[in-house]
Amino acid sequence: MPLINLGSATLDYEIEGQGPVILFAHGAGGNRLSWWQQVPYFMDRYSCITFSHPGFGRSGWIGDVSERISYSDVLLELLDHLEIERAVLVAQSMGGWTCLPVAVRLPERVAALFMASTPGNLRTPEIDQAREANRERLEELRQAWEERSAGSFNPALGERCFTEQPEMHYLYSAIQGLNQPRVSRAGIDITPEEMSCYRTPTMYITGKEDVVLPSSVIVAAAAVTPGAHLERVPETGHSIYFERPNVFNSLLSSFLSKVYPT
């Protein structure tokens, strides 16, 4: 798999397929390998780019630039290096902090934005309140999983996946284990005022059983995103793309058909 040296980071990335460009930005529990159920599905119609954020998988920062460079900056460096002027961005969880600022501040680079289980770096009182209400529970679940307490599960998937799809729960945690110790970089907050002129086609999806970023967070984000569509997925946790790939792929495919009608 190729590694490229950008100005800020060395990135592990892959391009598969041909057609309009889709770029997949993984969450804090994943890396480029996380999209193994999406790339084969879409690569016959689209050019699918996957990459690992710096500090994840085989990707790493160059020098001390992580103190002044955001993941959004790295994304733009990657697109420029690959000479891609415009792409659909698919963001999972932390990936929303990578993709949303590009869609807001450089809309000419983003054909559409698909936000999975993420508000990105949108900040509103409603989003903050929903996250704060969930904070204590999430910390308890994460602590129990780190200690491998009896009955604990990886919150990034959820209890249902742990009990009904133990092999997927194991694989997710194995992929997550390939990452380096790191601190996620959220970037600069985006306010509702900045969204007032937003026109990029956008879809939010949320798992109804998400314990990391509950549906109330995503509903609040969609409410301040002009023209956004919202889809709630039942019996699913934080990682819809991993837990329910058929549902995720179908929703993304339908969204893309409106962006690139045949």
pLDDT in tens, 130-173: 999 999 999 999 999 999 999 999 999 999 999 999 999 999 99
Residue 1 has pLDDT above 70, yes or no: no
Residue 240: how many other CB atoms lie within 10 Å? 21
Distance between CA 147 and CA 194 in Å, rounded? Answer: 41
Domain residue extents for the chain: 3-259
Confidence of residue 54 (pLDDT cuts 50, 70, 90): very high
Confidence of residue 68 (pLDDT cuts 50, 70, 90): confident
Structure confidence at residue 66 (pLDDT):
74
pLDDT in tens, 12-38: 999 999 999 999 999 999 999 999 999
Tokens at 170, concatenated = 């194991």
Fold classification of 3-259 (topology level): Rossmann fold (3.40.50)
Distance between CA 78 and CA 228 in Å, rounded? Answer: 26
Q: What is the dihedral of CA 225, 227, 233, 234, to 10 degrees?
A: 90
Nearest to 50 by CA among 64, 40, 62: 40
Confidence of residue 182 (pLDDT cuts 50, 70, 90): low
Residue 127: how many other CB atoms lie within 10 Å? 22
In the chain, what percentage of residues exceed pLDDT 70? 98
Distance between CA 210 and CA 262 in Å, rounded? Answer: 34
Residue 7 has pLDDT above 90, yes or no: no
Cα–Cα distance list, 182 to 29, 33, 59, 73, 201 (Å): 11, 18, 12, 18, 32
Residue 258: how many other CB atoms lie within 10 Å? 11
Residue 133: how many other CB atoms lie within 10 Å? 12
pLDDT in tens, 97-128: 999 999 999 999 999 999 999 999 999 999 99
